[in-house]
Every structure is written in C-alpha cells, then in structure tokens.
Structure 1
Amino acid sequence: MRVVLPPWRALGAAALRVLAVWAVSTVTMLILAGGLPDFRIQQPGGDSATRTAVTAALGAGVFGLLSALVWPLLVRALLLVPALVLGILVFFLNGSLLWLALVLIPERGDADPETAVVVAAAMSAASSATSGFLAVRDDGAYRRRLARLADRRRRRAGARPPGTPGIVFVQLDGLGHDVLQEALTGPEPVMPTVAAMTRTTHRLTPWQTDWSSQTGASQLGILHGSNDDVPAFRWYEKETGEVMVTNRPTGAAELQRRAVERTGDHGLLASDGASRGNLFSGGARQLALVLSVAARRGRDTRSRAGYFAYFSDPANATRTAVSFFAELFREVGQSVRARVRGDRPRVGRGGLYPFIRAFATVVERDVVVAAVIGDVLNGRAAVYADLVGYDEVAHHSGPRGGDTRQVLRALDRAIALIAKAADHAPRPYRLVLLSDHGQSGGEPFRSAYGLTLEDLVRAGCGVPVSRSARATRSGAEARAAARAALHRPEAGPTPDGGELPRKAAEPVVLASGNLGLVSFPDVPGRMSREAIDARHPALLRALADHPGIGFLLVHSEEHGPVVIGPGACEHRLDKGDVVGERDPLAPFGPYAADVVLRSSRFPHTADIMVNSCVAPDTGHVHAFEEQIGSHGGLGGEQSRAFLLSPLALTAPVTSDEEELVGAEQVHLVLRRWLRETRTLGERWSTVPTGTGATPVRAAGDAAAADGDGGRCVRGAGGPGRSRTGPPDREPCPDPAREAGAGEPVGDTTS
C-alpha cells in the first residue's frame, strides 16, 4: 500500500531543503570573505555584522535563482560538450552563476578575477554538496517529482492507459547467482529490497552461460535470440584482418546486424520497447546509452543524448555530481587501504580507473535508472536496462568484499526506486532481475607466473619474447561506455591500442578474461591441429602442460574438434571419446562439453582456444587480463548467472532437474513472458505475500502461455546445445521466427 504524504508536509520538506542550501551558501560566503584578503562583501569603511550577513544572504539567494532559471539554457547551449565532461562542469557552471550573482547584488565589495573564480568554485561546491546530499538521501522526493512530470506528459498527450501489464528487465551486470544469494541472506542482507522480493513475490533461478561468458555474447543472445559466432569478448577475423571487439560501437553494431540477419527478427524489444545502457538495442525504438548506435551520426541516435536529457535538470546534475566525487574519493581510499593491508591478489587501480569506476557506479547508473523510471511512468510495454557498476568494481576488487558490497547496496536502492515508481505507472508492471554472467576470482596469469599468455605463445612458436611482461588492458564494459560518452575514437586494432604483428607468420594472441585466443593470420580458415604441430611442434604441449592452463580447443583433421589437457589427455567432442587418464573438461562442470562443442563450430573460432585452469576447492581462475575478478571462459562462478522472476509469470523451467543453458534459451523465456503479459493480462489471481506458492491460474492458461500445451522443450535442439527436458519432447518453435520479421524498426532516443 502506497502512503501519500499530505500536501503541507511535502511543501514543508521542500521549503526546509531550500532554506538549508541557502543557509550553507550564506555561511560559506561569510567564511571566504573573512579568510581571503582579496575578497570582501563590505564597504571600504566597513559594515556592521548584520549588514554583512544580509549582503551574503542576498548573494546566495540570487545565486540560487540564477541556477534555477539559467541552468537549462546553459546545458542546451553546451550540447556539443562530451557528456562526461558536462557532468564534471557542474561545479564550474554553478560557480559562473555565482559570480554573476555577486555582480547583481548592491554594494558587493570587490574581488580580483582569480579570487572571484576561487570564491565561485567554493560557493558552488558548498551549495551543490548540501543540495546533493539532501537529494541523495531523499529518494522519495526524487521519485515523486518524476511521477508528476510523467503525469503531465500523459495528460498533454491524452493517452489512454493500457490494460495489460508491462515488464521491466534489469540486468545486474556480472553478478553471479551464488554472490547474489549471499547478498540476500542473513539478518541484515546487503540487498534488502531484493531479499524481500525473493521471500514474497519472486523466484530465483540459476542459468548457465555459453563458453563465452561475457556481456557481448550473453546480451546479444538475450536481446536478439542468437549469439552464434561470438567466440569471445574479442577475436581476430582473418578475412578482414581486423579484431572484432564486442564493446566497441562498430563491433556492437556489426554483431547486432549479423544477429538480425540470422534470426529475421529485430529483437526482444521491437514492440513498444526501450533499451537503456545496453550494448545492443534489442529492436527497441526508444534508446538511450546503447552502444550499437553510438557510432551513428544524428541527433536522435548519438549515445550521449540520454546524458543530456538527464543533466538538463539541475537537480539531477547536482545529485549525480556530488555522488560522483564521493565515489571518486571512496575508490582512492579503498585502494590505499588495500595497498596498506597488502591484499592479494591485487591489480593497479590508479590512472583513469577511479574516474571509470565513478562513471559506472554513479553517472551511468543514475542516467539509466532515471530513463527506466521515465519509461515506467510513460507506460512502455517492455524495458531492458543494464547496470554495469558491480561488474566494473569486481574486476578490480574481486567478486566479494567491502568494495563490491557497497556497490550492491547502491544497486538495491536503484531497484527500489524503479519498483516504487511502478506505483505511479499507468499500467501494472512485472520486475525481472537477471545477470548476463558471474565472475570468478583469482590472481591474474601474469602476476602468478611472471609472463603473459602472449609471451608463452611466442616462446612456443620460437618467436622473440619481450624482455618485460606487458599487461593486457582490462576490457570491462564501463570503459567503452565512458569512451562513448566522451565521444572518444575507438582504440587501435589490438585490445590495448597497439598494432597487430608485423610479420604475417607471427601469432595474434587476444584475451577475454580467462579465455585466450591464438590465431595465425597467414593461414586462411581454421588452422588444423596437424598443421600447427608441423609448424610449431612444441607449442600445443607447452600450452597444455602449463600449470596455469586448463585446456586447449583445436580442430583435428582426423577427429574434428578436440580438447587437449595436461598429460596428453584429450576429449574428442564429436564422439565424446576421452583419451588419457582423465577428462580435461571434468573440472569445468557438466555442461562444459556441450558449450565448447558449440563454440568449436563457429566460423570465427580461433586456431587455438585457451582456457585457464580452475582451482577445484575455490573455483579461482587466472585471467589473461589484469583482473582479479574475471569472466569470459569456463571455470568457477563466472558461468552461473541468475534470473529473478515474479511468481505471476510462469517458471523459467518446469522442474528442479531442468536448467537453462545458454543466453538463447533465456531469450525464449523472456519472449514467453512478454507473450503472457499480452495475452493473459490480469487473469491470474494474486499470490499471497510470503507464501512462496506458485501462482493460481485459470484452467488452460499454461497451454496458452507456452503455446504448445507443454509438449515441447524450450531451447532444445541445435548442435552442441544442451536440452532442458526429457529427450522424448521436441524443440519448441522459435518465437522470434513465429513473430516474423515485421517492419524495420527505427532508432530514436527519448
């Protein structure tokens, strides 16, 4: 039940906030006037304390009025400024308005230009910090203001509220199933909002990722129904001589184009959908911060448009700017404490990383959440949003610990904001939380063994190795989003901006978390195991027997795809034969053979696919990038993602023995839920709070929802794809193909 505050209490709270900001600004001006010799707010002969205080109060008041009236005009005039820079300019612009306020008040005294800039910056910081602190703590006021704005837009448009429920999908990037469960347990759970949902209205279901356990492959499969030929986060394509990277704008756009071409369908969100903060559009017409359209030119498709829509509101700008700098200082403090304690493993957290972290955990989060709340209040049928903060921090701090717990608390508050905004929505909403993959902890390969994967490959090929091991830059999603926000050009052909090998015979070695890819550019197509052994007899054994490597995938002319492990152990995937003392895939879970076999058939699978080892007791892996929390391959918790779905929707699987394997199967489940909301509406009865029972439905609803009366297996079939049910049931028709291609979907930004 929603509690509505009386109008006088809401008005009183707003007045108190205004008075608090005004008082702090006045006191700050008085302190600066007393401490800076070149700044005064008194007449040359001196004024009484009362007169001086009144002058300071007038200056602070004029400054507040100018901020409310002039700020939107300033932001509109600065549309060409990169979005992240615009967020940092909040203090400077407020300071300029304060300088103007000092000019307008009578008998203002005098100040040198340099001193005026200092005073303006200090006043701006004080007022922004006060208003930002109050705004950050008052989520209710923030939500009510957005609700009022949305209600005005609906009244102006004269739109009739839809009767069927909508669905909001919120992706918590990189949050594994087991880490989430830990965050929901205990007397004081880290994520109390999500914990309450799990106890009362939602069910938690794990799902297994593909071998490429990273956002590019998972989100492409979830949103577009196909992630075929996405072998890793980055890979080398021999026919073009280029490295494809999933989180570059051009790479994301090309992968989305290929997926649409394969499926003949524009995506999960093609019908009145919105895509927020994602790599791909999912066919949505309403886009904000979507990387696959960031490379396009035009006012409606630039990725930064969502930032401008958010920062044009001074309250949003202040709220986010204060939180941004607080997060910046928090990261610096946490990094210093980790170094003082001697935490191991540890990676470098200097340079631009504190800014990237603050961008991911504050700026992008706030903009995406505000966009989702706007979508809910405007009654969109389907919304899919990605919150990347946890994934970014876990790469540098590990999947567990104080740093990531703070991020999870902030994400929980964001989810609470979205859930409460649904109280004001013109239609009922189902809130679905999910992740695209988990993260596995462990010491980076270079730190553990003193050399990189590239050094090891070059040594096995007899190619000179660099004297000093060079780190492989992290490929986290937040870095690409920040570059797009800054409108920076993409990096060079290799992941760290370097050049590809000058000699064609030299190998191209790329990293995707704990998954490595080795390609020989001078050999067209997939180089066979026999050809590799003929050219570099020591290479495969040097890799397979290294203690930091778990297995290799190569293609044999005689046996087809073969997994090679230490001690001459092999797993021949086509027939399932194991040669040697043990199966090299055994430590990687029951679905390892299926997902590796599927990847082996991709056209752009590398000549040698290298997966790091996994510790049997801890699940730790060795990332080939500079990450202590990684994903991209197999091993540990990175392959175990989650779905948290309402009991009002059908269960993702029909029994505890079944399990979703692969992002394409998750896509089918989400498709089914969208069909349910369109066809069943509100026919299901309400589930009693806290019972944990399955929803009571009218007879025949299950068959109507599934469209097959329970006679088929969703996601079953296809080479190398695990089935999720009894073998005597046939695969279901692909709903993406059932829906048809439809009309081309345009891309616009709300």
Structure 2
Amino acid sequence: MTKQVETESPEKPSFIKFIFRTIVIWIAEVIGFIIIADMSVGLTINSWETALIVVGILGVINALLWPILSRIFLPFLVYTVGIGSLLINGFLIWLISIFVPGIIIEGWALILAPVGMSLITTLLSAVVTLDDETSYYRLVLHRTIKKANKKTKNYPGVILLEIDGLSEDILNKAIENGHMPTLKSWLDSKSHKVTSWETDLSSQTGASQAGILHGNNHNLPAFRWVEKGNNNKIMVSTGLHDAPVIEKRISDGKGLLSFNGASRSNLFSGDAENAIFTYSKLINIRQFYNDTWYYFYSNPSNFARILLLFLFDALMDFISQLIHWIKNIKPRIHRGFVYPFVRAGANVFMREVNTCTLIGDILASDMDIAYSTYLGYDEIAHHSGVQDPDAFYALRGIDKQFKRLQNSLKYTKRPYYLVVQSDHGQTNGATFKQRYGITLEDLVRELLPEELIIYSELSSNEDHFGQAFTRPIDSSKSYLKDKKDYTVKKSRDLVDNTLDNIKKSPVGKGKVLEYIQDYEISRKPLKYTAEESEVIVLASGNLGLIYLTQWTERLSYEEIKKLFPDLIPGLVQHEGIGFIMVHSLEWGPLAIGKEGIYYLKCDRIEGDNPLRDFGENARHHLLRTHKFEYVPDILVNSFYNPDKNEVAAFEELVGSHGGLGGGQSKPFIMYPSHWNLEDDEIIGAEHLHRVLKEKINRIRDMK
C-alpha cells in the first residue's frame, strides 16, 4: 500500500549537520540569555562564558530529561496551557545556578529567560534552515516511532483536515497565486483531486460539522435559534452548555470518528473518545486532558516558540487595522483591542495544537481516523474580508502545517490518506447596518407595535473558540454596565427627591424651577431577557430569524398578516432583504420577495422568482429547513448581488456565512484521486458524511 502523498524516505542527519545545528542553536540561545540579563528583570550573569556553560548544560538536560519530565508533568503542562513549560525551564535554569557560579535568576526572569532564548532561535529558524523537526523526530520521538513501526497496521489511516470557512473559489485563487504550494504540489502530482460540495441551510459550522461528523444536522436552523417550547431558550452552537446538549441530540453513537478516531479543535466530537479542544467536550475539565498532548509539549521550546508567534500575529492585526484605516479600505468593521488576541488564538495557538497532536497521532500509528479544524482563515476573513492579504496570510500558515504533516509521514511505516476540506465558505459585503443605518432589529421594531418587547442577538458569529476569549470580557462589561445603570438610577432618585424638596420650599418659586419640573427626562428603555421578550430577532451571517414568542407554536402567514399587518410587507419591501420564508395554512411554505412569490410545496412561481440568485438548490434547502422544529416564524435572507458577489450580513462582519448567496454555500473537498468523488454531486453535510463513511469502511475492509 502506497501513501497518497508522495514523501521521501527520511535520511539520518549527518554528523556534520548535527554539529552545525547544535552550535548555531547554542549560540542563538546564549544571545537570548544575555539579552534577558541586560533587561534587569531578575537574571544576572557575570560573563558570556558563564552564559555558554549554563545554556550548554540546559541543552543537555533538555535533550536527555525533557521527554521524561514532560511525560511526568504532562497534566500540569496541559492545565496551565503551556505556561508550566516556561516555569519548568526556569526552574531548571535556577537549579543550574546553584551549581554554576556567576549566575543569579529570580522573579520574572524564570519565565522570560526561556522565552528570550526561544525568541532568538525562532528568528534564526526563519532565516536559516535548521531542520529542527527532523532532529525533534530523531532525538525526542525516536522511541515512539520505533515502537509504532514494530506493530504497524496493515491498512491506511485517514486524516481529515478542515479549513474553516474557505470556499472553493478562494481556494483556487490561493493556489493560483502561490499562497498554498503544498496543496498545489498534491494536485500537480495527481495524488489528489478537488471538487466542491454544497452546504445545507444554514451554511455555518454548527450545521455542517453536525452533518459531517454525526450524519445528522436536523433541527439546526442557524448558528443560534430559539426553542419556544423551552421557555424561549436561545440555543447557541458554541455555547459551552449548549454544544453538549446538541451533540446528545444528533449523535447515535456511530459518528464518523466512533471507531478508533480522534477529534481535534472541532465543534462536535463525531463520537470520538480521543478529543482535544472539542467544544462539545470542553465543559468537562477531565476530558480536556489527553495523553496526545505529549506530542505538543515534548519539545521543550515549543510553547515559547508558539507564544512568540502568537504575539507576532496579534501585532500583525494591530498593524492591519491601522493599514485598513489609513487606506480607507471598505467594507471595514471595528475590531477593537481584544480581537487581535482572539485571532492569534485561532490562527496560531489552535493551529499549532492541531498539527503537533496530529503528528503525534501519525507517529504512534494507532489512530484510524482523525478530524481537525484549522480556524484561522475563517476568523480573519470575518473581520478583514475573504480576499484580504490577512486572509491569504492565514492560508499560507495553514499550508505550512499540511507540509509538516506530509513530512511526518516519512517516519511511519503506516500509510495515511490526507484529505483537506472546508465546512462552508464566506461571502463578502458591507453589513446591513453599514448600508442602511439600521439593524435587522431596528427594522423589525419599526414594523411592530411600540409596546412589544423585542430582544435581539446580532453579535459576531463566532464559530468556535472566540467565545472562550470574549465571553468573560463581555460578562465583565455587562457587570460593570449593570453597576453603572444602578448608580445612575440611584442618582436620578436623589435628584427627584431634591427637586421635590425645592418645590416645597419658599425658595423654589422661580422660572428655573418651572423649567426643571416641566422638562421630561428621556429614559433609556429597560433591557429584557429573551424569556421576558415577545419578539426575538437573531442573526447568523446574512440569515435572520424572527420569533414571535408570545405564541408557543410557529405562526402562519395568515396569522402574522392579521396580527402584525406591516411586518411581512415591510420586510420584503426593504432593499436589503432578498426574500423571507413563512408558512401559509393554505399554501404551505412560501418564499416571498419584493417582486414575486415562490410556492415551494407545489413548485409554482408568481411574478419574479425570489430565489433566482440563490442557487438551483435553494428550494430544496428551504423545504428542508421548513420542516425543522425550531424554524423561526419568519426566516429572512439578505439580498445577494451576483455581479458584485456581495451579501449584507445582519451581524457586523465583512465576510459572512449562514444564509444563501455566493461562496458561503460552496466549500470544497480535496481527496485522494482514486476516491473519484467528482462523479458524485454532494448536496448537504449529511450526504458528505455518507460519502466519507463509505470510503472509510472500505479502507477498514482491507484489514
């Protein structure tokens, strides 16, 4: 059995290369060590000779003992999210200082010294090819490789690599423009082919990964939705408490990864027992720990290197924001101070975790199938645009990870098929609010009676782990705002009491007092929870959901027309709306546009076809969504301009997905050529699940 990606057999590094690499890294780390000492942060060295000795001893200790130490202290390293590796390295330097005269280390230097040494090495690696991973495989993981190769399975494994949010057309542009040379080489060598597939409605990670990994995305109408029968609870695909509930609903225990599989940085687990950074498992802290983390921490400088790359990526975004502002690039959204670190978490930290743990899976040669999501492109395209230089920068970084995975195949006798795919695409465009000055909630509010209580969630569609960073901050902001509102109310009460006292006093008889007494102070409207509201407006990219929550059942077109006569015409007549879908008691599901109606059930069009620009399968997708239990009373899709390839997201995102229109519904799959998937038109994530399951079962039959 041959591997599907061409790899050369690994050559043992020559003694001269080994000595050269050792000397270069030694000198680099000494320089970093001295730089930290000059910063006066707790490290004192009396001479450069002492630095040479300390770094040399540390290198020997790391080479001989770090694989053992990282295995022993692995839980500590995992639960400190890598900070522990810096502390252990700092402790080793402190231990050396006891026996080597001329060095004192304390305080922040215990962390900064390992970081400084890694900084110089990382910068040097970018300029000089040190082949650090080859040495890492040979010196650190040779026991794992040797043990695995003795019991190699006689059938291939499969590694599914998802690039979150990348449409087929942007993939092709990235390859053509040289941003993804690894994938290009696979296509050029004819080891792989690429084809598109079509998402369901809605086109977002929750629905797509539920379908791909579990073969069931029924009743997932959007990124977030309302469950009327559950006290108007808003379910969120990435909710730490909601994701496990959703997986329990969609899983039958026979998911794509149920047979000796591994889940890496996914929304759902695919029923894999071996899961790292899988959202549906994150709430259980015990499941956060996994022995596979060893391959991430077994390199002593790995975390320090990733930390530096993380900070560099965050800096890149600050620079990007400045460039976008100076050049007045539009569409443009406000990213804020926190976002660059969220971006770096997705584009660097999660990326490196995925690759290191997958390399470990490959070298161990036991895992049969793995599914891993690379999040960086989707996160950046949301905020910068689908073809922004920042987005292509993310793709270059992801492509390098695929090269690393390809290279790791050299060290195992077991073949692995590498499959690259996406879960959805994105479509660019100025947001609904940027175009029209109002949000979808504002539009709905204009069309309903003033006394109705409306609640909305139109915040960014954070597919994965962005909320892990932003939710604590948002909670803090909410707490402070509540405190502020409470203080303001107390102050107003005090003012009112003071005015009453003035009014009763003889002094308070002038015109100034009349002005103060007669002036009506505008009060900010009270904020209500979703459970207290009578209307809930949600957004998932350019897909809007309107729930009339005074009624536990979905209202019909006829009932909405009678109760709120302005609502449907007002929505449809707005130029930012492409179409809405409602349920008619007489006609069934209706797709209504400004110039026409599509009677979906009987496949009849009156006037212009409102779905003309939304793909030939739009009717199929709407009919399917119409049957969902949690479908909204009114489903709203923004316009799509095929000439400009633009939509108007109801969230504040440059690149968006969730509804219909453009590349958001056209992801891709790059697969081993002999799979011949180009012969099968894949419509929907559940269909893709069946295709992948069939291929995987055939491979298992080769035992």
1:385 aligned partner: 372
Q: Secondary structure at the match of 1:519?
A: strand
2:3 aligned partner: none
1:417 aligned partner: 404
1:548 aligned partner: 576
Structure 1 residue 362, shift from structure 2 partner = 1.0
Select which of 233, 253, 258 maps to 2:249. 258
1:627 aligned partner: 653
1:341 aligned partner: 327
Q: Secondary structure at the match of 1:182?
A: helix
1:436 aligned partner: 423
Greater percentage in helix: 2
Distance 1:456 1:78, change over 3 A: farther
Structure 1 residue 176, shift from structure 2 partner = 0.3
Structure 1 residue 341, shift from structure 2 partner = 1.1
Rounded to whole Å, the distance in 2 between the matches of 1:394 and 1:209 is 19
Matches within 5 A, 1:277-296: 277-296=265-284
1:449 aligned partner: 436
Structure 1 residue 347, shift from structure 2 partner = 1.1
CA contact (8 A) 2:555 2:633 kept: yes
Rounded to whole Å, the distance in 1 between the matches of 2:54 and 2:145 is 39
1:194 aligned partner: 183
Structure 1 residue 314, shift from structure 2 partner = 1.8
Structure 1 residue 606, shift from structure 2 partner = 0.8
Distance 1:575 1:286, change over 3 A: same
Q: Which amino acid aligns with 2:23?
A: L
Structure 1 residue 288, shift from structure 2 partner = 1.5
Rounded to whole Å, the distance in 2 between the matches of 1:38 and 1:523 is 66
CA contact (8 A) 1:508 1:520 kept: yes
Select which of 128, 133, 138 maps to 2:118. 128
Q: Secondary structure at the match of 1:281?
A: coil
Rounded to whole Å, the distance in 1 between the matches of 2:44 and 2:82 is 31
Rounded to whole Å, the distance in 2 between the matches of 1:133 and 1:75 is 28
Distance 1:523 1:303, change over 3 A: farther
Distance 1:363 1:291, change over 3 A: same
Select which of 46, 53, 61 maps to 1:58. 53
2:312 aligned partner: 326
Q: Secondary structure at the match of 1:162?
A: coil
CA contact (8 A) 1:146 1:374 kept: no
Rounded to whole Å, the distance in 1 between the matches of 2:540 and 2:41 is 57
Structure 1 residue 247, shift from structure 2 partner = 1.5
- The answer to whether 1:22 aligns with 2:22 is no
Rounded to whole Å, the distance in 2 between the matches of 1:256 and 1:22 is 49
Deviations 1:244-277 (A, max 9, x none): 11122332222221122xxx45211222222111
Select which of 611, 620, 631 maps to 1:594. 620
1:363 aligned partner: 349
- The answer to whether 1:617 aligns with 2:643 is yes
1:714 aligned partner: none
CA contact (8 A) 2:453 2:534 kept: no
Structure 1 residue 61, shift from structure 2 partner = 4.0
Structure 1 residue 574, shift from structure 2 partner = 0.5
- The answer to whether 1:516 aligns with 2:544 is yes
Matches within 5 A, 1:9-48: 9=14, 11-27=15-31, 30=34, 41-42=45-46
Rounded to whole Å, the distance in 2 between the matches of 1:139 and 1:630 is 40
CA contact (8 A) 1:165 1:428 kept: yes
Q: Secondary structure at the match of 1:553?
A: strand
1:181 aligned partner: 172
Deviations 1:99-132 (A, max 9, x none): 5554543144x79xxxx54655654332011233
Distance 1:27 1:664, change over 3 A: closer
CA contact (8 A) 2:115 2:305 kept: no
- The answer to whether 1:245 aligns with 2:236 is yes
Rounded to whole Å, the distance in 2 between the matches of 1:101 and 1:147 is 26
CA contact (8 A) 1:275 1:288 kept: yes
Select which of 540, 553, 559 maps to 2:587. 559
Structure 1, unmatched stretches of 5+, are 43-51, 493-497, 682-750
1:643 aligned partner: 669
Q: Which amino acid aligns with 2:259?
A: S
Structure 1 residue 304, shift from structure 2 partner = 8.0
- The answer to whether 1:479 aligns with 2:466 is yes
CA contact (8 A) 2:458 2:538 kept: no
Distance 1:224 1:3, change over 3 A: closer
CA contact (8 A) 2:8 2:410 kept: no
Q: Which amino acid aligns with 1:637?
A: G
Distance 1:560 1:471, change over 3 A: closer
CA contact (8 A) 1:555 1:561 kept: yes
Distance 1:273 1:123, change over 3 A: closer
User: Greater relative contact order (Cα 8 A, min sep 6): structure 1 or 2?
Assistant: 2
CA contact (8 A) 1:25 1:123 kept: no
Distance 1:122 1:148, change over 3 A: closer
Q: Which amino acid aligns with 2:685?
A: A
Q: Which amino acid aligns with 1:274?
A: A
2:207 aligned partner: 217
Structure 1 residue 356, shift from structure 2 partner = 1.0
Aligned pair count reads 645
CA contact (8 A) 1:332 1:354 kept: yes
Q: Which amino acid aligns with 1:192?
A: P
2:296 aligned partner: 310
Q: Which amino acid aligns with 1:527?
A: L
Q: Which amino acid aligns with 2:254?
A: H
Select which of 229, 233, 240 maps to 2:223. 233
- The answer to whether 1:463 aligns with 2:450 is yes
Q: Which amino acid aligns with 2:539?
A: A
Distance 1:61 1:373, change over 3 A: closer
Select which of 132, 136, 152 maps to 2:143. 152
Which range moved further: 662-671 or 320-329? 320-329
Structure 1 residue 315, shift from structure 2 partner = 3.0
1:571 aligned partner: 598
CA contact (8 A) 2:162 2:422 kept: yes
Distance 1:503 1:138, change over 3 A: same
Q: Which amino acid aligns with 1:105?
A: V
Distance 1:522 1:571, change over 3 A: same
Rounded to whole Å, the distance in 2 between the matches of 1:600 and 1:72 is 57
Which range moved further: 374-383 or 169-178? 374-383
Q: Which amino acid aligns with 1:126?
A: G
Q: Which amino acid aligns with 1:448?
A: R
Q: Which amino acid aligns with 2:157?
A: G
Q: Secondary structure at the match of 1:426?
A: coil
1:607 aligned partner: 633
Q: Which amino acid aligns with 2:220?
A: V
CA contact (8 A) 2:215 2:689 kept: yes
- The answer to whether 1:665 aligns with 2:687 is yes
Structure 1 residue 340, shift from structure 2 partner = 1.3
Q: Secondary structure at the match of 2:173?
A: helix
Distance 1:283 1:357, change over 3 A: same
Q: Which amino acid aligns with 1:196?
A: S
Q: Which amino acid aligns with 1:612?
A: S
Distance 1:304 1:174, change over 3 A: farther
Select which of 667, 677, 693 maps to 2:699. 677
Structure 1 residue 546, shift from structure 2 partner = 1.1
Using the aligned pairs only, state the percent identity.
Answer: 33
Rounded to whole Å, the distance in 2 between the matches of 1:250 and 1:386 is 21
Distance 1:554 1:211, change over 3 A: same
Rounded to whole Å, the distance in 1 between the matches of 2:574 and 2:358 is 47
CA contact (8 A) 1:201 1:646 kept: yes
Deviations 1:376-417 (A, max 9, x none): 222222111111111111101111021111111111111112
CA contact (8 A) 2:118 2:301 kept: no
Rounded to whole Å, the distance in 1 between the matches of 2:527 and 2:88 is 41
Rounded to whole Å, the distance in 1 between the matches of 2:115 and 2:423 is 38
Rounded to whole Å, the distance in 2 between the matches of 1:338 and 1:124 is 35
Q: Which amino acid aligns with 2:210?
A: L
Distance 1:143 1:675, change over 3 A: farther
CA contact (8 A) 1:347 1:628 kept: yes
2:556 aligned partner: 528
Structure 1 residue 71, shift from structure 2 partner = 9.7
CA contact (8 A) 1:460 1:538 kept: yes
Structure 1 residue 323, shift from structure 2 partner = 1.5
Q: TM-score, normalised by structure 1?
A: 0.78
Q: TM-score, normalised by structure 2?
A: 0.83
CA contact (8 A) 1:87 1:321 kept: no
Select which of 76, 81, 106 maps to 1:86. 81
